[in-house]
Amino acid sequence: MIQLQLANRFREELGLFYERQENAFEHFSTEELQEKGLQTGGAIELVRLAQTFLVTDGSIDKLSRMTEVFENDRSYQQVFCPSRLTADFRSVCLCYKLQFKLRLLVQSIVEKGQNKYAYMPRARPLLMAALLSRP
């Protein structure tokens, strides 16, 4: 039920398609998306949204065990709890989209000092957590 509620919020508030099932977005034509009032550029993906929630919750260690998050009911309910629906979905979307810019950010940091910052590609989840942390 939470997945349907998330999909409704993304659609109603931001005009974004929430891809609850893998590759579901690809089955829609541009015209179909426009008829539904959805943006055609891309979709919010379930797994990446879960990763976003995990990082913002400070559960970075679970990123390497995503299968467990989806197979364990308790873990799943922690990630997709009803309180997610009270969030500002513009902020959720911003945090979600940050994942797609991390590679460029990491690359620019490494370019500042190859030897000094060579570890940065492996520290992407930590960098994302630092960028999303609240003061």
Over residues 3-44, the pLDDT tens digits come to: 999 999 999 999 998 998 887 788 788 888 888 878 777 889
The predicted pLDDT at position 28 comes to 83
How sure is the predictor about 134, in pLDDT bands with cuts at 50, 70 and 90? low
Helix-helix angle 46-57:124-132, to 10 degrees: 70
The predicted pLDDT at position 124 comes to 79
Spatial CB neighbours of 12, under 8 Å, sequence gap ≥ 6: none
CA-CA-CA-CA dihedral for 64, 67, 69, 70, to nearest 10: 150
pTM: 0.80
Closest by CA position to 110, among listed 98, 123, 95, 96? 123
The predicted pLDDT at position 102 comes to 84
The predicted pLDDT at position 25 comes to 84
Over residues 31-83, the pLDDT tens digits come to: 888 888 787 778 899 999 999 999 888 888 898 899 999 999 999 999 999 99
Q: Can you point out the beta strands (E) in the chain?
A: 17-19, 43-45
